[in-house]
Amino acid sequence: MFNDIPRLHFAALPTPLEPAPSLAKFLGLKSLFIKRDDLTGLAGGGNKARKLEFELAGAVNGGYDTLITIGGQQSNHARMTAAAARKLGLDVKLVLGGEDFSELKGNMLLNAMLGAEMRYIVGSDEDDDLIALMNKWTTELKAGGKKVYQLPIGGSTSLGSLGYFYAMKEISKQVESDDLQIILPVGSCGTFAGSVLGAKVFMPKASVIGISISRKKENIFERTQALIKGSAELLGIENPVAEDHIIIFDNYY
């Protein structure tokens, strides 16, 4: 049905769809389920495992020996990229931004335990600053003979978004009806884009609602549209998603 896209297997799938009846009752809902993607595995789990399965297939097939990515000080994406790199026998470099780098704690400690080399931008986690340092480090590594594969923040590319395109297929097999709302947080937009596209294909009655945690609505809309378009092209899907199907709230941003 779709183009065959190379994929690795990091995540423990399918993850459970767990009922939350007490919370549903408190909120006045008929039913509420939580998709437990904290249980994907890969050094603690999280949504990035699904993205990395597609992203890193390109790194392996392309003969790369070093991964480099960016994120905030406690980035889950950085931690899971480091874990995936170790599984694949690749070197890994992390560019992290934030305020407190006085000691290794949380994900930074896990990064160190996984053998990732880290460089920091103290006082900033702006994408442009992180990208600039990643590009500078990449140039250094290439000059030293390394073949370097860059991953953007959150692993959010059209390729990585396919992880959540197929997550919607997984959910469609776990529910009795697709007449539902799927609500998720939105940061770098890859999970959201893949979910919107996947819901259209596998659960056409469902709506996907994004709650921004780091960007204004206009920026999310633009980034999500671009990612959906790219993912659809990779899969061979035409006319993927109407604009009014990209539903975003930035009230809590």
Q: Which pLDDT does position 31 carry in this prediction? A: 96
Here the CATH number for the domain that contains residue 173 is 3.40.50.1100
**Confidence check: pLDDT of 144 > 90:** yes
From 154, 181, 199, the end of a domain falls on 154
In a domain, 130, yes or no: yes
Q: Which has more pLDDT, 130 or 154?
A: 130
| Residue 252, pLDDT score | 87
For residue 183, what are the β-bridge partners?
209
pLDDT at 190: 95
Q: List the domain range (segments joined by +) for residue 177.
A: 157-249
| Statement to judge: residues 150 and 69 lie in one domain | yes
Answer yes or no: is 10 within a domain. no
Mean pLDDT, the chain, as a whole number?
Answer: 95
Given 129, 154, 179, the domain boundary residue is 154
- One-letter identity of residue 64: Y
Predicted TM-score (pTM) of this structure = 0.93
Q: Residue 115's Cα: distance from chain center in Å?
A: 22
User: Strand, helix or coil at 53?
Assistant: helix
Active site residues: 75
* One domain, residues 150 and 210: no
DSSP annotation of 154 reads G
The tens digit of pLDDT for each residue in 81-127 reads 999 999 999 999 999 999 888 899 999 999 999 999 999 998 877 88
Number of domains in the chain: 2
Over residues 161-218, the pLDDT tens digits come to 999 999 999 999 999 999 999 999 999 999 999 999 999 999 999 999 999 998 999 9
Whether 38 is covered by a domain: the verdict is: no
133-146 mean pLDDT: 97
Strands, sheet with 66-72, edge to edge from the N-terminal-most edge strand: 117-122, 91-98, 66-72, 148-151
Residues 218 and 204 in one domain: yes
149 and 164 inside one domain: no
